[in-house]
């Protein structure tokens, strides 16, 4: 009996620790996201609140609001070089994000989460 109680307490402590740690592990690093966007010239074609060659990030965030696959979709968008349609109708391969070290998923995810939070 004592053993069961101990296990139950241990399990609930671990559960509580996970609840506490999970959000911290994914906390958005706004400065890092902005710096990466700048380094990659994303902001040459995108702004947060106004249309440039590419859609405003606020519009992108609205479009993907509540969509479960939003993050995966945007990671694909900025890592695959898929065709992007410009306002004047021409198409070219969308910029592929560069990170240091290369293809660092943490940094790419952080950038996408920042865009989705605009």
Please answer whether residues 47 and 56 qualify as being in contact, where contact means their C-beta atoms are separated by less than 8 angstroms. Answer: yes
CB of 101 to ligand HEC, least distance (A): 16
Q: Which of residues 32 and 45 has its CB atom nearest to ligand HEC in the complex?
A: 45
CA–CA dist 67, 87 (Å, integer): 25
CA angle 108, 115, 46 (to 5 degrees): 100
Task: Please give the Cα distance from 48 to 43 (Å, whole number).
Answer: 9
Nearer to ligand HEC, 4 or 118 (CB): 118
Which is nearer to ligand HEC, 77 or 113 (by Cβ)? 77
Nearer to ligand HEC among residue 24 and residue 68 (C-beta): 68
Answer whether 112's CB lies under 8 Å from 28's CB: no
Q: Taking the complex as a whole, how short is the minimal distance between the CB of residue 11 and ligand HEC, in angstroms?
A: 41
Taking the complex as a whole, the smallest distance from the CB of residue 16 to ligand HEC amounts, in Å, to 36
Cβ at position 67, least distance to ligand HEC in Å: 10
d(CA 65, CA 42): 21
Residue count (the chain): 118
Q: Which residues bind ligand HEC (CB under 6 A)?
A: 37, 40-42, 44-46, 53-55, 60, 63, 74, 77-78, 84-86, 94-95, 97, 111, 115
């Amino acid at each position: 009996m004592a053993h069961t109680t101990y296990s139950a307490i241990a399990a609930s402590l671990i559960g509580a620790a996970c609840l506490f740690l999970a959000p911290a592990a994914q906390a958005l690093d706004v400065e890092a996201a902005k710096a990466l966007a700048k380094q990659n010239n994303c902001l040459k074609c995108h702004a947060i609140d106004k249309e440039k060659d590419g859609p405003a990030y606020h519009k992108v965030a609205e479009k993907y609001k509540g969509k479960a696959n939003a993050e995966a979709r945007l990671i694909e968008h900025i890592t695959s070089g898929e065709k992007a349609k410009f306002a004047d109708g021409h198409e070219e391969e969308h910029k592929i994000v560069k990170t240091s070290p290369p293809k660092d998923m943490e940094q790419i995810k952080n950038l996408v989460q920042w865009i989705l939070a605009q």
